[in-house]
């Protein structure tokens, strides 16, 4: 359990290291050590429940995104095709351009 957490120690975690951790925990918490361990255990259980709830939501959403049993509606083209108006450039008479102003 602690091998991944304390992997930075050379040689891993053995019995002497675990005893040192236990003695430090006993010195810090004393008579409240069972309460602390119980609350830590409850916290871990709640965390695991939350993670499994998230995993269930992901699984259910991935299943619901698959093709559903109800068919998709048919596409019908009832609308007329819309086109842009066509403009012709204005025409100028040659006489208007040649007259001096």
Element (H, E) at 94: helix 94-98
Q: What percent of the chain has pLDDT over 70?
A: 70
Q: Quote the mean pLDDT of the chain.
A: 77
Q: What share of the chain is helix, strand, coil (3-state, %, to 5)?
A: 55, 0, 45
pLDDT, mean of residues 44-72: 79
What pLDDT score does 31 carry?
Answer: 85
Structure confidence by residue, pLDDT tens digits, 13-48: 788 888 998 899 888 888 888 888 899 999 999 999
Q: What percent of the chain has pLDDT over 90?
A: 17
Beta-carbon contacts of 6 under 8 Å, excluding residues fewer than 6 positions away, are 12, 13, 17
What pLDDT score does 36 carry?
Answer: 85
Query: Cβ(12)–Cβ(3) under 8 Å?
Result: yes
Report the alpha-carbon distance of residue 35 to residue 47 in Å, rounded.
18
Q: How confident is the model at residue 8 (pLDDT cuts 50, 70, 90)?
A: low
């Amino acid at each position: 359990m602690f091998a991944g957490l304390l992997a930075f120690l050379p040689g891993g975690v053995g019995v002497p290291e675990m005893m040192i951790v236990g003695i430090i925990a006993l010195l810090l918490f004393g008579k409240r050590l069972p309460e602390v361990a119980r609350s830590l255990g409850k916290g871990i259980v709640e965390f695991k429940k939350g993670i499994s709830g998230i995993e269930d939501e992901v699984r259910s959403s991935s299943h619901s995104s698959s093709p559903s049993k109800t068919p998709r509606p048919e596409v019908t083209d009832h609308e007329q095709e819309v086109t842009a108006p066509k403009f012709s450039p204005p025409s100028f008479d040659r006489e208007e351009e040649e007259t001096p102003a």
